A and B are shown apart, each in its own frame.
Chain A
Amino acid sequence: MAKPLLEARRVSKSFAGVRALKEVSLTVYPGEVLAVVGENGAGKSTLMKILAGVQSPDSGELLVEDVVRTIGSVQEALSLGIALIHQELNLAETLDVGANIFLGREPHCCGWVDAGRISKEARLVLERVGLKVDPSTLVGDLTIGQQQLVEIAKALSVDARVLIMDEPTSSLSDHETKVLLSLIRELRGRGVGIVYISHRLGEVGGLADRVEVLRDGENAGSLLGNEISHGAMVQLMVGRELSQFYPHQSHQTGEVVLEVRGLRTRAYPGQAVDFQLRAGEVVGMAGLVGAGRSELLEALFGVVPALQGSVRVSGELVSPRSPRAAMDAGIALVPEDRKHQGLFLEMGVRENLSIATLHKEQAGGFLNRTKEKALCEEMIPSMRIKTAGVDQPVQFLSGGNQQKVVIGKWLATRPSVFLLDEPTRGVDIGAKQEIYRLMEELAAKGAAVLFVSSDLEEILGMSDRVLVLHEGRLSGELHRSELSEEAVMRLATGEQTEAAAI
């Protein structure tokens, strides 16, 4: 085999005492697509950031063409020919496309930016990624998918020999994805080493020459050529068969608990959304990034009240003008951004668990400490929250245990409608399964559970029914028997199907 372009040897990295990577090794050869797969929190993004100089490893070494290097910054990585396309977009929205592509390395003449050259060269790379916009368009005016392509064009323009792509298709439409995949194949043909991270295993199966699987921050195994299959990847990712991983059971569904009619959110005022949730149901909500899923949940929970529409809980009309009003109606929301929206990081487990029920347990405005203590004594063991004590600040808990605290705080309000926004993002596998088990238990107890997820495996594995949003519109509904990755993606990318008529 050819000389490796880039090699990581026994790389470890910890954040605030939590080990993200443990002696992980990875080799990238020229002219191959190496897919790196793993669950959320398996350490993929951390590894990529280390390869691209965004972060430095605690131990282990990096070799570029067999020479040991310390890659201390993104600039250094770029000069070695390594470019990273981030999962989160890193563009300056108030600058135009051309300026973004050449940000930090503008062609210039004695300090004057050579705008003509920027425009000319930007046009060339934009053409290669199949993005038909003028380089003078403001990035803020593009769709998320187009912005992603600008990010890719930016990486192409440096002539990288190793191109790392972290979930590049997560916000692309079907067509855009196809263009990108053919571009990747073209780059591979020209000897570029491509590291490709994706949740979409179907995509990986069709593209990758080699697959490296990470699990809980360690190498879990690798697959070559014919060994690459959906089942083989999942098995390495979760360490067991998929059917055992999702504890989904079919439920006895009961009365309609939540009825939403003509709901218009501020994000998509032009789209009225109607749907129902029944008692005992687990309903998944799929869609691309920016499809308005979180906005819909936030409208139902009163964080950003809906512009119009009616919401009924168990037949009774409620108007969620504020989270408190939604809570009183029996709605709970586990928000998308755990650290910023879900938790008080510096406060203890006890204070985080009780915060949503304090007003119910008060005695004339005074804290009811006995009830607060009883709540902790109930929740910590029953949810298996691993903590040094009730007053341990939640910032020192692992992602999974933090999420359990957020879920526990809402369980305490005994909601009849449980909304969860990306409930397993950044959570390790063990905690993930426990969260699924909790969702199942809630449904079994008669609550209606609605969860938003970008993880298709999870949507397919956990839902009785799937609602798909496309640009704010409910583009379709799929029952468990009709579920497939392709069916969900078709609706999510806005392709018309007969299924949408149901």
Chain B
Amino acid sequence: MKKNLGILGLLVAVCVVTAFLSGSFLSAYNVENVLRRSALFGILSIGVGFVIITGGIDLSLGSVVCLVGCALPWLLTVQLWPLPLALLAVAAVSLGIGLFHGLLITKLRIQPFIVTLCGLLLYRGIARGFTADQTVGFGNEFKTLRLLATGKVPFLPGFELPAPLIFLALVAILAAIFLNRTIFGRYLLALGRNPQAATYSGIPTQRMTILAYVISSGLAGLGGVLFVLDVNSAQPVDFGNFYELYAIAAAVLGGCSLRGGEGSVVGILIGAALMQVLRNMITLVTTRNNVEFAIIGAVILLGVVADELARRIAARRRAAHVLETAGVR
């Protein structure tokens, strides 16, 4: 928990600064909006967090969001599939993609970066293919279904919680329990720390790695469904574009090390929220949306550098302490 204090402080600071600079930041409408976006990106970030914890990377999830986000309205409105079948199909596709990645990475030992980079190109290409680059959407139909993403749950007088936040809460609780309370979570963390020692300890490393990619793609699929329900339509050319980078950045900001073995669900959630507050701040405070990437990039870099510096100081202190106690002995 202590590790997350830094990033939590940064989140609070950005919120305070934004509230100070823009009167509309704390309006109920804006808060709901930021929460909704944070929830949607939070789901993706938790997914990619599992992969990062094993020491891998998943670059494909923006394209999985695109594939699922296009496939669902396309199956429902163009192919006229019944709803349960369409949902089952997109679930199967996204989980199948994870399995496919996991098998390539563990059995053929292809590097995760390459596998998922190809996935990034492949799945968007497929989506653009079957939609013929045309926007697909629900139009005025499926209003009830869309409530899963657009709906609101009464919370405080004059303030309602956006529905995706409920999904995020469920996902986050399950993920936290999985990571911290089950033997599989422990295996994932151990595998990320030292894959060789994990093998020598009898951990089924291949199965655990595959599982991480299935979780990542599966949550990307869930995210894709919620994203398209939220915005009603998807343009295959840019739907979900760069989402993998937002998700990876959130996970890294939240304390996941790309070296593997480190990361907490709470940290990832804070990281995802920070990303969305930053984007919101840029929209509210500046009139120039085109600096968005520059600002986000700079803030992430600052956060990661500060974290690394703090870690070094802690390590130096600990070494000095050990030396001291050794000297006494």
B318 touches A366 (CB 8 A): no
A142 touches B (CB below 8 Å): no
CB of B195 to closest CB in A, whole Å = 10
- Chain B residues with Cβ below 8 Å from A355 are 186, 190, 201, 203
A19 touches B183 (CB 8 A): no
- Chain A residues with Cβ below 8 Å from B181 are 366-367
Give the contact stretch, choosing among B35-43, B239-247, B319-327: B319-327
Residue of B nearest to A334 (CB): B200
A225 touches B (CB below 8 Å): no
A324 touches B197 (CB 8 A): no
Cα distance A324–B184 in the bound complex, in angstroms? 15
Indicate with 1 or 0, residue by residue over A378-422, a CB within 8 angstroms of chain B CB atoms: 000000000000000000100000000000010000000000000
B261 touches A346 (CB 8 A): yes
A276 touches B (CB below 8 Å): no
Most interface-central of B183, B186, B187, B193 (chain A CB within 10 A): B183
Cα distance A323–B202 in the bound complex, in angstroms? 5
Indicate with 1 or 0, residue by residue over B299-329, a CB within 8 angstroms of chain A CB atoms: 0000000000000000000111111001000
B199 touches A347 (CB 8 A): no
Cα distance A29–B73 in the bound complex, in angstroms? 86
Cα distance A18–B321 in the bound complex, in angstroms? 11
Indicate with 1 or 0, residue by residue over A7-22, a CB within 8 angstroms of chain B CB atoms: 0000000101111000
- Chain B residues with Cβ below 8 Å from A409 are 201
Residue of B nearest to A396 (CB): B322
B79 touches A (CB below 8 Å): no
B194 touches A (CB below 8 Å): yes
B186 touches A351 (CB 8 A): yes
Contact-residue bracket for chain A: 20 to 34
A358 touches B (CB below 8 Å): yes
- Chain A residues with Cβ below 8 Å from B322 are 16-18, 396
A16-B319, A323-B202 known; A359+B197 contact, CB < 8 A: no
B183 touches A343 (CB 8 A): no
B201 touches A356 (CB 8 A): yes
Cα distance A324–B320 in the bound complex, in angstroms? 40
A333 touches B200 (CB 8 A): yes
A362-B183, A366-B181 known; A347+B201 contact, CB < 8 A: no
A175 touches B (CB below 8 Å): no
A335 touches which of B184, B198, B200, B203 (Cβ 8 Å): B200
Q: Tell me the chain B residues, 171-227 only, with Cβ under 8 Å from chain A.
A: 181-184, 186-187, 189-190, 193-194, 196-204
CB of B325 to closest CB in A, whole Å = 8
Indicate with 1 or 0, residue by residue over A354-370, a CB within 8 angstroms of chain B CB atoms: 01101100100111000
- Chain B residues with Cβ below 8 Å from A14 are 323
Cα distance A367–B183 in the bound complex, in angstroms? 5
CB of A181 to closest CB in B, whole Å = 38
- Chain A residues with Cβ below 8 Å from B318 are 17, 396
CB of A340 to closest CB in B, whole Å = 5
B190 touches A303 (CB 8 A): no
- Chain A residues with Cβ below 8 Å from B320 are 17
Residue of B nearest to A19 (CB): B326
CB of A473 to closest CB in B, whole Å = 26
- Chain B residues with Cβ below 8 Å from A333 are 200
Number of interface residues of B (CB under 8 A): 28
- Chain B residues with Cβ below 8 Å from A342 are 197, 200
B194 touches which of A324, A343, A367 (Cβ 8 Å): A343
A324 touches B186 (CB 8 A): no
How many A-B pairs have beta carbons closer than 8 Å: the answer is 82
Q: Tell me the chain B residues, 56-82 only, with Cβ under 8 Å from chain A.
A: none
Cα distance A110–B320 in the bound complex, in angstroms? 50
- Chain B residues with Cβ below 8 Å from A323 are 199-202
- Chain B residues with Cβ below 8 Å from A347 are 189-190, 193, 261
Q: Tell me the chain B residues, 227-285 only, with Cβ under 8 Å from chain A.
A: 261-262
A365 touches B182 (CB 8 A): yes
B182 touches A345 (CB 8 A): no
- Chain B residues with Cβ below 8 Å from A478 are none
Cα distance A366–B203 in the bound complex, in angstroms? 15
- Chain B residues with Cβ below 8 Å from A358 are 183, 186-187
B319 touches A17 (CB 8 A): yes
Indicate with 1 or 0, residue by residue over A298-309, a CB within 8 angstroms of chain B CB atoms: 000101000000
A358-B183, A359-B183 known; A341+B197 contact, CB < 8 A: yes
- Chain B residues with Cβ below 8 Å from A359 are 183, 202
CB of B3 to closest CB in A, whole Å = 13
Indicate with 1 or 0, residue by residue over A443-480, a CB within 8 angstroms of chain B CB atoms: 00000000000000000000000000000000000000
Cα distance A323–B186 in the bound complex, in angstroms? 18
Cα distance A322–B201 in the bound complex, in angstroms? 10
Indicate with 1 or 0, residue by residue over A71-100, a CB within 8 angstroms of chain B CB atoms: 000000000000000000000000000000
CB of B176 to closest CB in A, whole Å = 13
Cα distance A327–B183 in the bound complex, in angstroms? 17
- Chain A residues with Cβ below 8 Å from B200 are 301, 303, 323, 333, 335, 341-342
- Chain B residues with Cβ below 8 Å from A322 are 202, 204
Residue of B nearest to A335 (CB): B200
CB of A413 to closest CB in B, whole Å = 9
A18 touches B194 (CB 8 A): no
A344 touches B (CB below 8 Å): yes
A303 touches B199 (CB 8 A): yes
Given A344-B197, A345-B193, 19 more A-B residue pairs with CB atoms under 8 Å apart are A16-B319, A17-B321, A322-B204, A326-B202, A333-B200, A335-B200, A343-B197, A344-B198, A346-B193, A346-B261, A355-B201, A356-B201, A358-B187, A365-B183, A365-B184, A366-B181, A367-B186, A396-B318, A396-B322
The list of the 6 closest CB pairs from A to B, nearest first, reads: A17-B322, A323-B202, A324-B202, A358-B183, A344-B193, A17-B323
Q: Which residues of B contact A (CB under 8 A)?
A: 181-184, 186-187, 189-190, 193-194, 196-204, 261-262, 318-323, 326
- 16 of the cross-chain contacts (CB-CB < 8 Å) are A17-B323, A17-B326, A19-B326, A303-B200, A340-B197, A342-B200, A344-B190, A344-B198, A347-B193, A355-B186, A359-B183, A362-B183, A365-B183, A366-B181, A367-B182, A367-B186
